[in-house]
Structure 1
Amino acid sequence: MDGVRKSRMRLLLQAAEAFVGAAGVADVRRRVRDLVLNDLKPVYVGLSLLEHRGNGHRPGPAARRILDPEIDVQMETRYRTYTVMDEWPTARALRERRIVTVTSREELAESYGEQALDVWDTLGFASLAAIPLEGTQGAIGALIIAWGEVHELDPDERAVLKAVAQYTALATERALRLDDRTSVAHGLQKALLTSVPDVPGLDLAALYQPAAAFDLVGGDWYDAYRLPVEAPDGPPRLAVTVGDITGHNTRAAAIMGQARSMLRQADIDHLHRGPAHAVTALERACNVLSLPATGTLVHAHLTRADEGWELRWSNAGHPPPLLAVPGRAVEVLHPHDRLLLPDLPCGQRTEHRTALPPGATLLLYTDGLVERRSRALDSSIEATGRLLQQHVAAGAPLHDVLRDLHRRIAVDPNEDDVALLAVRVRHGAAP
C-alpha cells in the first residue's frame, strides 16, 4: 500500500507542473492523458467542455468533446456534442457535480443510453469514472477516464482524481482565454489579407498560415492590388508585397495593418514613382507618427511590357524573392537594403529591375517558410527554389504550388506564421 500511495503522491506533484504552458484545450487534454497514463493505467482519457452558446431545442447546456489529433477515436466525432440532460456518465457528473463511476456493462445499460453502450463496446471499456471540472465561475466540463478491466476507485484514488480535475479545470480556463485571444488575433489578421485581384495576363495565388502553437500571431502579411494606369492607354500595372512586422501578438498584427495601408497610400499618391519611393515614404510616415513598424518587406511593381512583364522591386532586409522560368535555373533575387528600423534616419531605398517572360513564376514569402534553427537559411532557400522549379516545369496550378511548398519546406509550422504570394505570367500575355 505504501508503494501505491507514493505513486499517487508523485502523480499529484507532477500535476502541479503538468499544465504549465498549455497551448490550448486540445493540449490540456493531451497533458492530462499523459499525466495519468503511467499511474492509473487507463485505456482512454477524454475531455468535454460546456459551451456558452445556446443549443436550439435541446434541454440543458450543451457540452462538446475536445478532440485529440494524436489519436483516432471515431466515437468522439460521432457523438461530439451532447447536453447535461442526456444519458451519458459525463452528463450525469455535470448535473450532480460529483464523480460518477460505472464498473460493468450491465450497470451502464441500466442507467444510460444506447449511445453510451456503443462507445463502451467499441472502445473496449470495462470501467469508467466521470469527474466534473469546477472552474472559478462554476462547472466548465468533465473528464472521463476508462479502463479495459474492472477498476473500482478507493477513497485515496477519488481524492487524487479530484485534485487532478482541479488542476485540469484551472488549466482549461487559461487555455480557453488563450484560444479566444488567438482566435480574435487570427480573425484580425485574416481580415487584413484581402483576396488577390484578377489581372489579365497574370495568375496570382496567396497563402497565409498562422502559427499553431501558443498565441503566435503577428505581423506576416501579403498584399496585391492593381495600380492606376499612368495614361488612358497605358499598360496594366500591379503592386505586390510580402512583409513581416516583428512580433507574435495582436500588437504586431495591428501595426502590420497600419503599415500595409500606409504603403498602399504611398503607391497611390506617387503613381509615377517606383516601389523604392513608396517604401521610403512608408518609413518617413512611420517616423513622423512614431509607429514602431520594425521588420522586413519586399515591395514590387509589375508592368506589362512588349514581351511578358517588367518587375521592379525594393527589398527591405527580407528573404529574397525567387524567379522560376521554364528551361532556366531558378534565380534568387538577392539585392536588398537594410530592414525597416524606425529609429534610424530614412534614406532613399534602392530599386531593381528584371524581365518576367511568358511562363515565369515569381515567389514572395516570409521567413516562416525557410528559417529554422536546425537548417541553414541558404539551403532552405535553395530547396524552395528546386521545388518551385519542379512545379513550374510541370505546370502545376499556383494554389497547389503554395500548399506543397508550405507542406514540404516549412519544417515546423507551429514556430512561425507563413505568408506566400506567387505571380505567374501567362503565355501569350503580351499585348
Structure 2
Amino acid sequence: MDRIVGRLRDLAHTQRRFQDLLDAVMAVGRDLDLPVVLRRVITTAMSLVDARYGALGVLSEDGEHLEEFIPVGLSEREVEALAGVALPHGRGLLGHLIDHPGPLRVADIGAHPDAVGFPPGHPPMRTLLGVALTGRGRVFGNLYLCGRRDGQPFDEHDQDILVALAGAAGLAIENARLYRKVRANAEYFQRLLLPSLPDVTPFSVAAIYRPAATPDHVGGDWYDALMLPDGACALVIGDVAGHDLKSAATMAQTRNMLRALLYDRRTPPSAVLTQLDRTLQAITDNPITTTCLARIEPAEDGWTIHWSNAGHPPPLLIGPDGTARYLHADPGLPLGVDPNVPRPDHKRPLPGNATLVFFTDGLVEHPHRPLDAGLTALAQVATAHADLPLEDLCRTLADAHLADGRDDLAVLALRTPPTAPTPETPATHSRARELDVPRPW
C-alpha cells in the first residue's frame, strides 16, 4: 500500500512539473522583446527546478566566446561584492559547454577538471546544470543554473525539464532576434522618410522623433518645415492612424504631396489642407490623419501665425516673457473623414523671441490620466526650459516621459528672432509679386 501511495505521489508530482513546463513554454514564447525574453527564460528555468542562481550567456557571431552574460538571483550585497569584476567570457566550465553543447550536470564545480575557480567576491556555488540554446540548427547561447535550494545536486529530471525548456526558449529567442531586426529596419525606413530640416532663416527650427517603446509598433508621426516663395515659413506636424509600415509609407506620401501644394498655392492653410484631403481621397486609400499646418508670416511689428488644425493637438506658444499658452481654436476634421466640410483658419500675432512647439499626441497621452493633465505637464516642462537651444528643448520634452511610451512621438519647434522682420528686399518683393500673377485655377 505504501508503495502504491508513493507511486501516486510521484505521478502527481510529475504531472505538476509537466504542467509547469507547458506553462513555462507558453510564457517564454509570449514576448518578442529580446531583453524580456532572455530574462524570462532564466527566471522560468530557475522556477522549474528551484535553483538559487541562473544565468544566460549569449554567444558571439563566431560562437567562440560569450558576448553577453545575464545573471539572475544575486542579492544586492553579492552584486556589490562583484563590483568591478568583468563578466565571464566563456572559459572554464562555461567554455566547456560552448565547446561541447550538450547538457552538463556537475555535482561539485570545484572538482571538475575544467573548472578555473571563481573571481574574488563571487558567491560560493557547488552544483551546476547547463544546456545549450539552439534555434534553427544554430547554437547561440547557453543557460546555466546553480544551487538547488534544497541543497541537493541537480538530477536527471531537472536536466530533462531544462532541455525541454531550452528547445522552446531557443525558438523564442530566435524569433525575438528576427523581430528586432525587422523592427530596426522598419524604424530605419521610417526615419529615412522624415526630412532633414532646411535653413529657414531668420527663424530657427528643430525637431525630434522617438519610436514607441512597445516592440510591435511602427508609427506614422511626421513633421516638416520649409520657407515658401512668398517669404512665409510653413510648419506642419501630423499623425497617420495605424502602427505599421503602411502608416510610415502613408506619412511620406502625405508629406510630399503637402510640400507640392504649399509651393504651388499661395492660399490659407485651410485651403491647402482641403485640397490635400481631396487629393488623398481621390488617388489613395490612406487612413485617417490628424495634422496642424501653420504659416509664419511677416507683419509690421513682428510676425503672424496663420494656422489650420485638422483634429490635431494645439500648438504651444511660449512668449518672450516665458509664459506659455496653447493656441486652442476650433479644430477641423482629420484628413480622410469628409473633404467637403469647411475648415477653419486662425490668426494670432507672434512677437520676437517667441517659441512655438508642435507635437503629436504620443508626447502627452497616458491611459490613466486626462489629456488636459498631460498638456498641463508639457506646458510646465516647456516653460521651465524655454531658454534652451531648440534642439535641447525638443530633446528635453521627449525625455520628460509625460506619456506611457506606447505611441511614437514627434516634436517640432520654431523660434522667432528677437527683432521684427526687415522690409522686403527687392528680390523678396519680386518673388512675391510673381505669385500674384493670375493663374488659370
1:285 aligns to 2:279 (yes or no)? yes
Going from structure 1 to structure 2, the CA distance change for 1:70 and 1:101 (only over 3 Å counts) comes to: closer
Q: Provide the secondary structure at the position in 2 that maps to 1:368.
A: helix
Give the match's secondary structure for 2:385.
helix
* Contact 1:311 1:356 (8 Å CA) reproduced: yes
* Map of 2:333 onto structure 1: 338
One-letter amino acid matched to 1:173: E
1:22 aligns with 2:31: yes
**Larger-gyration structure (1/2):** 2
Residue of structure 2 equivalent to 1:196: 197
Q: Which runs of 5+ in 1 are unaligned?
A: none
Q: Percent identity?
A: 30
Structure 2 matches for 1:64-79, cutoff 5 A? Answer: 64-65=67-68
Conserved 8 A contact 1:26-1:68: no
| From 248, 251, 260, the counterpart of 1:256 | 251
Q: Which moved more, 1:62-71 or 1:250-259?
A: 62-71
**Cα distance, 1:310 vs structure 2:** 2.1
Tell me which residue corresponds to 1:177: 178
Sort the Cα spacing of 1:187 and 1:89 in 2 relative to 1 into closer, same or farther, 3 A.
farther
Q: CA deviation at 1:204?
A: 2.0
Choose which of 407, 410, 413 in structure 2 pairs with 1:419: 410
Separation in 1, partners of 2:270, 2:297 = 15
Evaluate the alpha carbon distance shift between residue 339 and residue 124 of structure 1 in structure 2; reply closer, same or farther with a 3 A threshold.
farther
The one of 100, 103, 110 aligned to 1:96: 100
C-alpha RMSD over aligned residues = 3.3
> Alpha-carbon deviation of 1:92?
3.5
CA 1:92–1:250 in structure 2 vs 1: closer, same or farther (change >3 Å)? farther
- Residue 430 of structure 1: aligned partner: 421
The equivalent residue for 1:46 is 55
Find the counterpart in structure 1 of residue 428 from structure 2: none
Partner of 1:376: 370
**Structure 1 residue 160 displacement after superposition:** 0.7
Opposite residue 415 of structure 2, the aligned amino acid is: R
Cα separation, 2, equivalents of 1:155 and 1:265:
70
Amino acid in the other structure paired with 1:32: V
Change (3 A) 1:92 1:68: closer
Paired residues in the alignment total 407
- What displacement does 1:221 show? 1.5
* Shift in CA distance, 169/409, structure 1 to aligned 2, threshold 3 Å: closer
Change (3 A) 1:214 1:200: same
Using the size of structure 1 for normalisation, the TM-score is 0.83
Q: Aligned residue for 1:243?
A: 238
Amino acid at match of 1:243: G
How far apart are the structure 2 equivalents of 1:368 and 1:50?
A: 37
Match of 1:294 in 2: 288
Q: 1:46 to 1:264 in 2, by over 3 A?
A: farther
2:227 corresponds to which letter in structure 1? R
**Within 1, Cα distance between the matches of 2:49 and 2:363?**
42
Change (3 A) 1:153 1:215: same
SS at match of 1:172: helix
Output the amino acid matched with 1:383. Answer: A
Partners of 1:204 and 1:90 in 2: how far apart? 53
- Are 1:140 and 2:134 an aligned pair? no
Question: CA offsets, 1:335-358, max 9 Å, x none?
Answer: 21011126x344453322222212
